[in-house]
Structure 1
Amino acid sequence: MQDLKNIRLASKNLNNHAVRELFREAFVRPTEDAISHWNAVAGCTSLAQLARRAVIHTVEDINNDDDYQEESVEEEVEENFQEDVSALAKFPNLDSLLLAFSVPCLGSGHDSWWQDVLESVETRLERLRLVFNAIKTRQDAGNTKIHELTLVNLQNQPIPEFTGSDLFRDVMSQLDELHVQMVQECNNHGPDHDYTKIELQTFPRHFCSAWLSPIAANLRELSLYSRTDNWGPFPGYFDPSAISFPQLETLSLGYYTIAYDDQLDWLLSIKSLKKLVMHRCMIARRIRIANENMEQWKTSTRDWDSLHSDPENWCVAYAYHKCWSSLFEALAAGLPNLQAFAFDYPRNNGYYCDGDTREYGVESRHSMLSSIFPERYVVFDNGILPTHWPEAEESGVIHWPDEVPNFHKDHLEEDQKAVDNLLEVCRSRN
C-alpha cells in the first residue's frame, strides 16, 4: 500500500495506475475511521467507480479468537455502519465482495450462560441479510453484478429461513465464484464437549443442499476451508456426490480430511478441473470415537479395521490404511485437464506463524507451493484435549493412547514420488 502511494509521486502516468490500484478495493468495518474513509470514497464519483471489490468486516478485529467478548460497538457507529453497507450502489462497478465475521461463535442450543460472543447466530443472520439486500438493491438498480462472493468465518449453523428465501436465491444465482471459510463453536475451557454440538452433524448436509447444489452448475471457482478444524468425514459427513459441477475449473480445500476410500470420488468426477489446491488436507489413519458418539453420529465404519478398544470400554478404535501416494496417482489419472496443483501446510494463521511466512486461509488459496509435510497423516481421538485431532510433530510422531507408526516416515518416499509425478503431469499439460 505504501509503495503505491510512493509511486504516485513519480509521474502522472504512474499516478493514474497507482490510483486505480489504491481504490480498487473498498473496505469498511464498524469503526469511525473506516466508516469515514468509506464515505469519502463513496462520495467521490471518480474514485467510487474504480472500486471492483467490497470488503466488509462485521467486527473491528476478525482475527480475535478470544472467547470472552465484552466490547461493544457504539449504537451510532453501528447505525452508520449498517447504513453504509446498505449503500453498495454508490460503487457501481463492483463485481466481488468479501464478508467477514468474528471468530468466536456459539450454537443456537448452547447453554453457556456465563459466556458471550460479539455475534450470536441471530446477529450473523441479520448481517447476512443486510449484505444480501444491499447486493440485490444495487443489482436491481442496473449496476454490475457481484459474481464472486467470499465469506470468512461463516458459522457452521444451518439457516434454512435464509437459504430458502428468494433474496438468497436471487443473489447466489448470479455467482460463478464462491469462497467460504467456516468456523465452529469452540469452548477453550471444555473442548471435549464441542463435538456434541449438533451443528457439526447437520451443517455439511445443509451446506451441500442449500448453498452448493442450487449454484453448482454456474460455478467456475469454489473454495471450502475450515479455519482451524479438520472436517469432511464426521461428525457430519460432507457428501456432494449428488452435485454436478460442469464448469468448475478451480477448487481449493482447507483442512479437508479423508477417512473413507470414496471421499475424493466427487472431486474426481469434476473433469473440467484445471487447478486444485489442498491446504492442510489430511488422511485420518487412526480413529477413536466414544460409543455414545458413534451411535449419535451414525458413523460408518466402512473401509476401517477394528482395533482393541479402551479397557474401560467407553470407545471404539479403528485403523484406516489409505496413503497419499494412491490419492496423488488417482488425481493424475482421473483429472485429464488438471494443470496446477498445490499441496501444502502453511503454518501462518494470520495470528501465529512459527516463522512460516506462508499464510493459511481462504484468502491465501492462490499460493502454488507443494510439499510433503508431516501433518498430512492425522488421528482422531475423542478422549484427547485440547483438540480431538492431534497432528504430527515435525519428526512425524503423533501422540496416541497406544503406540502408532510414524506414518510420515513410513510413506515419505512413495508420497514424494507420487506428488512429483502429479506435478510433472500438470506441467506437461500447460
Structure 2
Amino acid sequence: MEKVPSEVLDLIISELVDGWTVDDLCRARLVCRSWNQHAIKHLFGTVTLYNRNKTIENDFQSWNHLMSLQVVKDNAHRVIIETCPPSLRKGHLRWDLWEEEGRWPEFTSAIDRIIDLDHLKAIEVRFSSYCRGFDESAAAYYRGNDDREMRSARAAALKTIYKAVKQREERSLQDGTEITPIRELNLDNLQNTHPPEELVNGLFKDVERLHIRILDEQNEGEDLGDFELAERFDFDHILEHEILVPVMNQLVELNLSSHYEWGLLPARFNGNDLKFPNLKTLRLGNFVIGYFDQLEWIFDQKSLTCLRLHECQIVTHFHFLESTVREWEIDTSDWEQFDGGPWFIDHPCTDSEFWTFDLKWNNVFYQIRKSLPKLTEFGVTWGYSYDWFSDMHCAPPSDVMTSRYTTFDMSAMPWPFTAEFGEGFRNDEDGQESSLEFHDRTYGEDARALNDLLQATFERRRQPRYV
C-alpha cells in the first residue's frame, strides 16, 4: 500500500468513506501513516455546529474546543450550521432575545469561529422545518408560535453568518493569509418569503453551487388554510427574480427542491428570465408540471451536462371549486374542460370546474434528448427506490414509476395533489380506467422514451473529448 500514489489512495478512500461512520474513519487512521493523513481529511473535512439543548446549555463549548484544534483548521472545508434547536419552545431567555433583537452572544461567537477556517469552501445552513409566514393570525387558530423558527430568527442567523464570512475575507486582506473562496451554499428549509439582504447581496457573492430546499408554513387543519397563504402565491416569482436571476451568470450547479409540490398551483413558476450560461448540473425535486412549455426554461440551458429529476409529476386532471380559476388567475389555455365524469358523478360540489391536461412523460423525455445536446448524465426518480444523485441505466419497472402522474383535486384539501382523483365520488359502473390503469397504459411509451434518452447520454459519454 505504501507504493500506491497519494492521489490514487485519496480516491480510493474517498469512495470508501461514503458508507463509513466516524468510528470507521478513526480505525482507518491506525492502518498506517499514509492512511492516517487521508482519513484525517475526511474525518475533519466537514464540521457541524449543533444547535441542541445540550450544546446551548454548555454555551457551545464542544464546538469551540473543536474549532481550536489545528487539525480542524487545516482540514475543514465544509461547515454545517444548525440555526434552531429541534425541540424549540419559547420562553427561553436566550432564544427570545435572538428572535426579538438578534442578540445571542454565545451563538454568534460560535459562528464567528469559521473566520479562522482558511480552507472553507462550502457552508450549509439548516433552518428549522417549522416556520410562520406573514399571516400572524394563523397562530391564534393553531398552536401559536412556540415551535416555530420565525422570520426574524432566520434573518439574524444569515446576518451573523455573512458577517463572519466578511471578517474572514478582511482577515485575509490584512495579514495576507491565502484563503479559499466559499463557492458552495446549501440552504435547507429556506422559508418561502423574500430573502434577506445578507443572503442576496452577501452570501451569494462567490457561490457557484447553490442548493435550496424550500419550506412553507404548515398547520393543523383540513381546509384550504395553508394552501392559500400569501407566500404560496408570491414565492415562485421571488425565487426566480430575487434569488436565481442575481446569481445565474455564476452558477455551475443548482439544486432546487421543496417540502411541497411547487411550480404550478396556486401560482406558476415560469423561469422565462433564467439563462444560466455556465450551468452544468441541475437537480429539480417535487416540481409539478401542468403546461406544455413549463419546462422550456430547462430546455434553454444548453450548457447542461447533468440533469436529475426527483418526484417531478405531470398533472393530468384538475378539479377546482367554485370561482377558484378566476380568483387565482389560472391560465387554462393548455387544458380541456370536461364534466367531471365518471369520477364526480352526483357529487356535492355543484359549482366545480374540471379540466384535463394531455402531456405525457414520453414527450418530456424526447424534448430533453433533443434540446440538451451536451447532456451526458440523466436520472429521474419517484419514491425512494433509486438514488436521485446517480445515473440510471434503463427505465425502472412500472410499479416504481406509478407516481409520475398525479391529479389536482381541491376536494382533497389540504393535500390537493393526489393520485386518487375524485375519491369518494367515483362511479365505477362506467368502466373508466382508474389512476393506476392510466399509469400502466402509458408505461410502454414512457419507458421507451426514457430508454432512448438514457442511451443517448451513454453514447455521448463514449465520445472522445466530449465538450
Question: TM-score scaled by structure 2?
Answer: 0.80
Aligned match for 1:278, one of 294, 309, 317: 309
1:55 counterpart SS class:
strand
Distance change >3 Å, CA 130–CA 291, structure 1 → 2: farther
Find the counterpart in structure 1 of residue 4 from structure 2: none
1:138-163 residue CA offsets vs partner (Å, 9 max, x unmatched)? 2233232211100001111124xx24
Q: What is the identity percentage for the equivalent residue pairs of Structure 1 and Structure 2?
A: 25
2:405 maps to 1:377: yes
Find the counterpart in structure 1 of residue 118 from structure 2: 92
1:189-229 residue CA offsets vs partner (Å, 9 max, x unmatched)? 235311110100001101111110011011100011012x1
2:268 maps to 1:237: yes
Contact 1:158 1:199 in 2 (8 A): no
Distance change >3 Å, CA 188–CA 390, structure 1 → 2: farther
Of residues 176-185 and 35-44 in structure 1, the stretch that sits farther from structure 2 once superposed is: 35-44
Find the counterpart in structure 2 of residue 211 from structure 1: 243
- Cα offset, 1:297, TM superposition: 2.0
Any stretches of 5+ residues in structure 1 without a counterpart? 348-355, 360-364
Q: How does 1:403-422 map to 2 (within 5 A)?
A: 404-405=434-435, 406-422=437-453
Aligned match for 1:42, one of 47, 56, 67: 67
**For 1:283 and 1:72, how far apart are their aligned partners in 2?**
45
> What is the letter of the counterpart of residue 319 of structure 1?
T
Find the counterpart in structure 2 of residue 155 from structure 1: 191
1:291 counterpart SS class:
coil
**For 1:210 and 1:401, how far apart are their aligned partners in 2?**
43
Contact 1:305 1:318 in 2 (8 A): yes
> What is the letter of the counterpart of residue 380 of structure 2?
F
> What is the letter of the counterpart of residue 129 of structure 1?
K
Of residues 186-195 and 332-341 in structure 1, the stretch that sits farther from structure 2 once superposed is: 186-195
Aligned match for 2:30, one of 4, 9, 16: 9
**For 1:168 and 1:158, how far apart are their aligned partners in 2?**
10
Distance change >3 Å, CA 9–CA 391, structure 1 → 2: farther
2:94 maps to 1:75: yes
- Cα offset, 1:261, TM superposition: 0.2
2:286 maps to 1:255: yes
- Cα offset, 1:335, TM superposition: 0.4
Find the counterpart in structure 1 of residue 129 from structure 2: 103
**For 2:454 and 2:323, how far apart are their aligned partners in 1?**
43
- Cα offset, 1:168, TM superposition: 3.2
**For 1:291 and 1:398, how far apart are their aligned partners in 2?**
16
Q: How does 1:65-214 map to 2 (within 5 A)?
A: 70=89, 75=94, 79-111=105-137, 112-113=139-140, 114-116=143-145, 117-142=147-172, 143-159=179-195, 162-163=196-197, 168-214=200-246
Distance change >3 Å, CA 296–CA 128, structure 1 → 2: farther
2:320 maps to 1:313: no
1:314-371 residue CA offsets vs partner (Å, 9 max, x unmatched)? 4322111100001001101110000011101233xxxxxxxx6x57xxxxx5233463
Find the counterpart in structure 1 of residue 361 from structure 2: 324
Aligned match for 1:21, one of 42, 46, 54: 42
> What is the letter of the counterpart of residue 243 of structure 1?
L
- Cα offset, 1:14, TM superposition: 1.0
Contact 1:54 1:98 in 2 (8 A): yes
1:112-150 residue CA offsets vs partner (Å, 9 max, x unmatched)? 224223301222122122222222222233232211100
**For 1:81 and 1:132, how far apart are their aligned partners in 2?**
14
Aligned match for 1:296, one of 322, 327, 331: 327
**For 1:299 and 1:245, how far apart are their aligned partners in 2?**
28
2:246 counterpart SS class:
coil
- The structure with the largest alpha-carbon Rg is 2
**For 1:185 and 1:305, how far apart are their aligned partners in 2?**
32
2:85 maps to 1:60: yes
- Cα offset, 1:420, TM superposition: 0.8
Contact 1:390 1:398 in 2 (8 A): no
**For 1:37 and 1:24, how far apart are their aligned partners in 2?**
17
**For 1:259 and 1:339, how far apart are their aligned partners in 2?**
27
Find the counterpart in structure 1 of residue 390 from structure 2: 367
**For 2:422 and 2:380, how far apart are their aligned partners in 1?**
20
Find the counterpart in structure 2 of residue 353 from structure 1: none
Find the counterpart in structure 2 of residue 362 from structure 1: none
**For 1:346 and 1:79, how far apart are their aligned partners in 2?**
43
1:411 counterpart SS class:
helix
Question: TM-score scaled by structure 1?
Answer: 0.87
1:281-335 residue CA offsets vs partner (Å, 9 max, x unmatched)? 1000111123343233211112101122666434322111100001001101110
Distance change >3 Å, CA 408–CA 22, structure 1 → 2: same
1:238 counterpart SS class:
coil
1:14 counterpart SS class:
helix
**For 1:27 and 1:221, how far apart are their aligned partners in 2?**
23
> What is the letter of the counterpart of residue 115 of structure 2?
A
- Cα offset, 1:93, TM superposition: 1.0
> What is the letter of the counterpart of residue 110 of structure 1?
E
**For 2:219 and 2:24, how far apart are their aligned partners in 1?**
42
2:314 counterpart SS class:
strand
Aligned match for 1:333, one of 370, 389, 394: 370
**For 1:400 and 1:225, how far apart are their aligned partners in 2?**
31
**For 1:321 and 1:52, how far apart are their aligned partners in 2?**
47
1:49 counterpart SS class:
helix
**For 2:105 and 2:425, how far apart are their aligned partners in 1?**
53
- Cα offset, 1:236, TM superposition: 1.6
